[in-house]
Amino acid sequence: MNARSLIPLAALLLNFVVIPAQAEIYKWTDENGHVRFSDRPPANQKAKVDTVNVNSTARSQGHREMSDKLRKPLPTAYPILAEEGKRVKTLGIENLVFAPESVRNDPDQELGRNLSLSSSYGGKSYASYCQFKGRTLDAHNASVLFKTSVKEIYRAMFNTISQLGYSDSIYDQALFKNQQSKSTDLSLGGVIKDVFLENCGINQTFNKTYVEIEWQLFSNLERRVVYKTTTRGYNENWGDTPRTHGGQESMAAATDDALKRLFSDQAFIENFYATLPQQPVSKYHSELSLSLHRAKPRDNFVKSVNNLKDSIVTVRTSSGHGSGFIISNQGHALTNYHVVGENQQVLLINGDKQAYATVLYKDKVRDLALLKTDSRNFSQPISAINPEVFTGESVYIIGTPLTEELDHTVTRGIISGIRMQNSMKFIQTDAAVNPGNSGGPAFNEKGEIVAIAVAGMFTDNGASLNMNFLIPIQEALDSMNIHYQLN
């Protein structure tokens, strides 16, 4: 998303002004040398002021273009319903950005087409006297008319998506923050590139609104825009009965109409099903049997660490990342439950290798999750195991703390003690466990896996207390119904 487009929608709407026809417009230069237009003389009396008459009968090209768009309603939209019985990716509705192309830093635009008042941004505006049954209603200042609540627009969009069967949708007011606080697979954002308005009345108004929105669909798992298109929306109330708050209603309805046209696009809809496993996470899964071994007498962690890294992965989700490791040559992997959360699918990353993995099984109480990928790039499992640990012995933890760029970080400490909490066993250690380490494996001096990182304790200002906790590997395997034989 271009940085210049990040302009709050509500603030820009307040600057979007409709001028009564045949009114005097003042053209003046401010102290910075910028040419401005306004409907009243500037406060600075030293400014050179020219008066420009706006004639309602003027037929500029922009005037005709806008009139044509407002005169011709768009064809009916036919949104595509979610397929019954199929799982769809979850969607977060995020910010609309108001950045029409009508006005950039060009102060001498043609009046009646690109008139911007006291702002370097604005929209194409049209003003005229409106005739209804012999009465003349003056178009009035849009800064009053368009105190449109952003939440009203989002609410209308959210309701439409829910009615189409995408009931897991949520809305947020941050544009593409990777949904750090919410787990949705996809995020939808839009840039209002153009808008035409015709609003007549004071307390009650007749309205026509046309919008053109550039939509972007963002994959929170892949961290990229996966679909981009532009749709138009239209709303009209130009009959016998004016509406209270008609401008606000018309803007929200036109935006919602553009959204419905987006959901009429089959290519857009396909993104809700692509690569998504259609089988839900099992409450129970069949027993998994592994063939493991103990380390050889001369084996040690330092000599084995490079080979071990091939089995250790970053587990990326739609809301962040954690760590994990491959446990079978069929592509099974272990991580923490709190890493995957409600995600149905995650992305496994090891260097330049990436592969989707399905969440097969989750144990929320023991904080564990079993994953499965079909990629042959993730078929080298950790095979040396030792369920016995002793207080005072060294322990090494490998994972991806803080950011994905720190993958395969190794920290070292000792086993500080064996603790019981809620009838579950934990290993206490002073080896660093930071956010992102969760789900990563812990090894002894011989390079045998002994535990899984699960939690670290910190002060209020984020400093480590050197009190971190691991799940013993035997407890983890038992929780996942995984058995093994020692060779």
Lowest pLDDT segment from 41-45, 329-333, 395-399, 461-465: 41-45
Q: Per-residue pLDDT for 146 more than 70?
A: no
Does the structure show a pLDDT above 90 at 65?
no
Q: pLDDT at residue 323 above 50?
A: yes
Residue 136 pairs with which residues in a beta bridge? 131
Cβ within 8 Å of residue 470, ≥6 positions away: 395, 397, 426, 427, 428, 429, 433, 442, 450, 451, 452, 453, 454
For 388-410, the pLDDT digits (tens) are 999 999 999 999 999 999 999 99
pLDDT at 105 over 80: no
Average pLDDT, the chain: 75
* pLDDT recorded at residue 184: 80
Q: For position 12, what pLDDT does the model report?
A: 35
At 46 the pLDDT is 59
Residue 433 structure tokens:
């466990």
Residue 238: pLDDT above 60? Answer: yes
Average pLDDT score over residue span 272-299: 72
Residue 416 has pLDDT above 90, yes or no: yes
Least confident stretch, 127-141, 183-197, 259-273, 340-354: 127-141
Residue 25 predicted with pLDDT over 70: no
**DSSP secondary structure, 192-249, as one string:** EEEEEEEEEESSEEEEEEEEEEEEEEEETTTTEEEEEEEEEEEEEE-SS--EETHHHH
Segment 266-277 shows an average pLDDT of 84
Q: Give me the pLDDT at residue 170, please.
A: 45
pLDDT at residue 159 tops 70: yes
Q: Name beta bridge partners: 191.
A: 97, 214
CA distances from 316 to 109, 217, 221, 227 (A): 49, 19, 7, 21
**Which among 14, 104, 21, 35 is positioned nearest to 63, based on CA atoms?**
21
Residue 243: pLDDT band (50, 70, 90) is confident
Amino acid at 6: L
pLDDT given for residue 377 in this prediction = 82
Please state, for a pLDDT cut of 70, what percent of the chain lies above it: 67
The confidence score (pLDDT) of residue 429 equals 95
DSSP labels for 69-118? HHHSPPPPP-PPPPPTTS----EEEEEEEE--TT-SS-TTPPTTTS--SS
Cα separation of 18 and 3, whole Å?
Answer: 27
Residue 411 pLDDT > 90: yes
Helix ranges restricted to H, 130-177: 142-145, 150-163
Separation of CA 405 from chain center: 21
Indicate whether 206 pLDDT > 80: no
The Cα 396–Cα 413 span in angstroms is: 7
Pick the range with the lowest mean pLDDT from 48-62, 162-176, 289-303, 349-363: 48-62
Structure tokens at 352: 């330049």
Identity of the residue numbered 133: K
- Exposed / middle / buried, residue 265 (Cβ in 10 Å: 0-12, 13-18, 19+): middle
CB count within 10 Å of CB 375 equals 13
Planar angle of CA 91, 96, 101, nearest 5 degrees: 135
Of 55-64, 66-75, 364-373, the one with minimum mean pLDDT is: 55-64
Q: Is the pLDDT of residue 23 over 90?
A: no
CA-closest candidate to residue 161, choices 177, 178, 184, 182: 184
The CATH number of 288-486 is 2.40.10.120
CB-CB contact of 194 with 211 (8 Å): yes
DSSP state of 284: S
Question: What is the mean predicted confidence (pLDDT) over 444-457?
Answer: 92
Q: Which of 393, 401, 382, 477 is nearest to 427 (CA)?
A: 393
* Residue owning tokens 């499992």: 381
> Residue 20: is its pLDDT beyond 60?
no
Residue whose entry in the numeric block shows the structure tokens 């417009």: 25
Q: Determine the pLDDT at residue 99.
A: 67
Domain extents in the chain? 3-21+56-272, 288-486
Q: What is the DSSP letter of 384?
A: B
pLDDT of res. 458: 76
**Residue 154 pLDDT class (50, 70, 90 cuts):** confident
Q: Tokens representing 421?
A: 């909490």
| Of 64-73, 212-221, 438-447, the least confident | 64-73
pLDDT recorded at residue 338? 93
Task: Judge contact between 171 and 158, C-beta under 8 A.
Answer: yes
Q: What is the mean pLDDT of residues 97-112?
A: 44
The pLDDT assigned to 18 comes to 36
Q: What is the pLDDT of residue 258?
A: 95
For position 400, what pLDDT does the model report? 96
**What average pLDDT does this structure show over 353-375?**
91
What's the alpha-carbon Rg for the chain, to the nearest Å? 30
**Looking at residue 291, what is its pLDDT?**
80
Q: Which residues pair with 171 in a beta bridge?
A: 93
Least confident of 127-141, 216-230, 345-359, 405-419: 127-141
* SS3 label, residue 338: helix
The span from the CA of 335 to the CA of 325, in Å, is 7
Percentage of the chain beyond pLDDT 90 is: 35
pLDDT higher than threshold 60 for residue 302: yes
Band (451; pLDDT cuts 50, 70, 90):
very high
Per-residue pLDDT at 83 exceeds 70: yes
- Supply 318's token pair: 């739609």
Q: What are phi and psi of 416, to 5 degrees?
A: -85, -25
Q: Which long-range contacts (CB under 8 A, 24 or more apart) does 276-280 make?
A: 276/87, 276/88, 276/89, 276/185, 276/344, 276/345, 277/87, 277/344, 277/345, 277/358, 278/86, 278/87, 279/358, 280/87, 280/344
Give the closest residue to 89 by CA, choosing from 420, 317, 367: 317
Closest CA to 324 of 300, 343, 292, 347: 347
**Residues 322, 343: contact at Cβ < 8 Å?**
no
SS3 assignment, position 65: helix
Residues belonging to the chain = 487
Residue 135 phi, psi dihedral angles, 5° rounding: -100, 150
Q: How high is the pLDDT of residue 471?
A: 96
Report pLDDT for 216: 94
